Amino acid sequence: MNSGAALSLDQVHVWRGDRHVLRGVSLQLRAGELLQISGPNGTGKTTLLRVMCGLLRPEQGRVSWCGEAITEIREQYQALLAYASHEPALKGDLTALENLRFSVGLKRRVSAGDLTAALACTGVEACADLPARVLSAGQRRRVAMARVLAMRARVWLLDEPFTNLDAAGAELITRLLREHVERGGLGAVVAHHALDGLRRLELQA
Amino acid sequence: MNVGAWQVLSLMLRREMCLYFRRPDQLLQPLVFFLIVTALFPLGLSPQLSLLRDMAPAVLWVAALLSALLSLEGLFKGDAEDGTLEQLALCGQPLGLIVAAKTLSHWLVSGAALVIMSPLVAVALGIPREAFPAMLLSLGLGTLTLSWLGAIGAGLTVGLRRGSVLLSLIVLPLAMPLLIFGAGATDRAISGASAAGPLYFLAALCVLTSTLAPFAATAALRITLE
């Protein structure tokens, strides 16, 4: 019945303090479907992404994976998921490779070769043995993207993955997103400029 | 290709040790604090050995509590600030396991290191050598319990801007039994009596916190992450 293996949100409401940030968001994602979330600043794009990955529990409404509430199957669901927050979430004292090993390694058994390949794929293999704190903002973003790749997750939830990237980097992310869709992956991307071929969800202020 | 619980524990322990040893100041600060505070007492008091010996258990334990508290604030703070805590929470492993690994590594670098250093301090305070086993055991159990209690406090306060005062207010009252039984065990051992009673209490507290604190700290962290 779940040929689509969908992630679905049903009438999700979230308040932050007094502000009613998400007002009844409903959406469904099937395999091979990537959603672009856009909208003015402060309209809850990041909040929506955090709800989708289960970090934030909505006050009302339901988020489900294959028909089961994600709070019920939290670990199984999160094992399938790669989330990239708008900060790159790297430890400055660890090298790029160690950063990947200690986060991807918790998700699946991974060899150093896999991780270096992921770093090479995002064009930062030369930074593998440098501590993350000496990397530029763009390089850190690329390392974070390498982590998403190395997790081999089915669901990608990316918060502004294009920030700090040069033109080649932006093109790379677009290509990776396309490949993810072709592999049958799904997910959501917060981005401000229009991305080709993605369904769009525009959040209103 | 699933990752088992032991692999998660060992990977997290390696991660934490890597981070601690890349920041030697973080590692040494509580230990140096412990050494200095305990060294100040013989200087401040009269150098009468009998007086020092009477004070020794209290001095040792108060210094141990405060020095462990000093490093507790950073338990989740660094990870929360750079966003890696979210990544850990989403890694698909039970968050309790991650919390347990982080707490154990905190104990290894603060508590266990302090236990190893304590004979040095004990000599300076005039504690007789016969009392060393009870003192070491009580400090070991006590600091481990404190790390667990501290994990709950650190989990609750990590999202706050000035959480360190609140952290002490949460953790120190809970640590009172440790002070009482820990200092009691050392005191009895110094006077040549059996320290078994207070040590059993410490062991019970240690088992209690080791089993319950991971759940409490996990719940606290989940609230903070929202």
- Prediction ipTM score: 0.91
Q: What is the pLDDT of residues A106-134, one digit of tens each?
A: 999 999 999 999 999 999 999 999 999 99
Q: Give Cβ neighbours of residue A49 (< 8 Å, ≥ 6 apart).
A: A37, A83, A157, A159, A188, A190
Min Cα distance B149 → chain A (Å) is 24
Three-state secondary structure string covering chain A: CCCCCCEEEEEEEEEECCEEEEEEEEEEECCCCEEEEECCCCCCHHHHHHHHHCCCCCCEEEEEECCEECCCCHHHHHHCEEEECCCCCCCCCCEHHHHHHHHHCCCCCCCHHHHHHHHHHCCCHHHCCCEHHHCCHHHHHHHHHHHHHHCCCCEEEEECCCCCCCHHHHHHHHHHHHHHHHCCCEEEEECCCCCCCCEEEECCC
> Is the confidence at residue B15, as pLDDT, over 70?
yes
A203: number of CA atoms within 13 Å, CB side? 27
Closest-CA distance, A204 to chain B, in angstroms, reads 22
> Does B12 reach chain A within 8 Å, measured CB to CB?
yes
B24 touches chain A (CB under 8 A): no
CA distance B18 to B26: 12
> What is the torsional sign of CA A28, A52, A81, A38?
positive
Max intra-chain CA distance, chain A: 50
pTM assigned to the model: 0.91
Interface membership of A71 toward B (CB under 8 Å)? no
Residue B71 CA to chain centroid, in angstroms? 8
What values do phi and psi take at A178, rounded to 5?
-65, -45
Mean pLDDT along residues B123-152: 93
Return the pLDDT at A192.
Answer: 85
Rounded Cα distance, B222 and B226, in Å? 7
Q: What is the pLDDT of residue A136?
A: 95
CB pairs under 8 A between A and B: 85
pLDDT at residue number A5: 54
Please tell me if residue A183 touches chain B, with a CB cutoff of 8 Å: no
CB-nearest partner of B86 from A55, A98, A101: A55
pLDDT, residue A3, reads: 47
Query: Model confidence over B154-200: pLDDT tens digits?
Result: 999 998 888 788 998 999 999 999 999 999 999 999 998 999 999 99
Establish if A112 touches chain B: CB-CB under 8 angstroms. Answer: no
**Stretch B57-85: mean pLDDT:** 91
pLDDT at B214 over 90: yes
Alpha-carbon span B17 to B12, nearest angstrom? 9
CB contact under 8 A, A106 and B12: yes
C-alpha dist (Å) from residue B186 to A96, B63, B115, B125, B191: 47, 14, 13, 12, 9
Write down the pLDDT at residue B43. 84
The whole-angstrom separation of Cα B170 and Cα B157 is 9
User: Which of B55, B39, B212, B72 minimizes the C-alpha distance to B143?
Assistant: B72
For residue B80, give every residue at least 6 positions away whose Cβ sits within 8 Å of its Cβ, in sequence order, or none: B158, B159, B224
Residues of A in contact with B4 (CB under 8 A): none
Q: Which residue has the tokens 């270096």?
A: A116
Nearest to A125 by CA among A147, A96, A99: A96
Q: What is the pLDDT along chain A (205 residues), one digit of tens a residue?
A: 344 558 999 999 999 888 999 999 999 999 989 999 999 988 899 999 999 999 999 999 999 999 899 999 999 999 999 999 989 999 999 999 999 999 999 999 999 999 999 999 999 999 999 999 999 999 999 999 999 999 999 999 999 999 999 999 999 999 999 999 999 999 999 988 878 778 888 887 7
Interface of B with A in 79-138 (CB under 8 A): 82-84, 86-94, 98
Q: What is the CB neighbour count within 10 angstroms for residue A41?
A: 7
Cβ neighbours around A17 below 10 Å, total: 6
The closest alpha carbon to A14, from A49, A58, A77, belongs to A58
What the block records as the tokens of B27 is: 């590692």
Q: Which candidate, A195, A197, A182, A149, places its Cα nearest to that of A31? A: A182
Contact residues on chain A for B92, CB-CB shorter than 8 A: 75-76, 78-81, 106-107
Q: Which residue of A has its CA nearest to B15?
A: A102
Kindly indicate the confidence band of residue B39, based on its pLDDT and cuts at 50, 70 and 90.
Answer: confident
Q: Does A188 touch chain B (CB under 8 A)?
A: no
Higher per-residue confidence, B162 vs B76: B76
pLDDT score for B215: 95
pLDDT at A146: 95
Q: Which amino acid is at B165?
A: V
At a CB cut-off of 8 Å and minimum separation 6, what does A149 contact? Answer: A118, A121, A122, A176
**What is the reported pLDDT for B93?**
92
A187 touching B (Cβ < 8 Å) = no
Q: Does A56 touch chain B (CB under 8 A)?
A: yes
Asked whether the predicted pLDDT for residue B2 surpasses 80, the reply is no
Note whether B3 contacts A: Cβ–Cβ < 8 A.
Answer: yes
Beta-ladder partners of A63: A9
pLDDT value of position A203: 84
Q: Exposed, middle or buried by CB within 10 Å (0-12, 13-18, 19+), for B110?
A: buried
Question: Dihedral angle at the C-alpha atoms of B150, B151, B152, B157, nearest 10 degrees?
Answer: 90
Domain borders along chain B are 5-225
The CA-atom distances, in angstroms, between A68 and each of A52, A72, A188, B66, B81 are: 13, 7, 19, 47, 32
| Cα(A161)–Cα(A154) distance, integer angstroms | 17
Residue A91 touches partner B, C-beta closer than 8 Å: yes
Whether A94 and B22 lie within 8 Å, measured CB to CB: yes
Residue of A nearest to B24 (CA): A93
CB contact under 8 A, B18 and A76: no
pLDDT reported for residue B141: 95
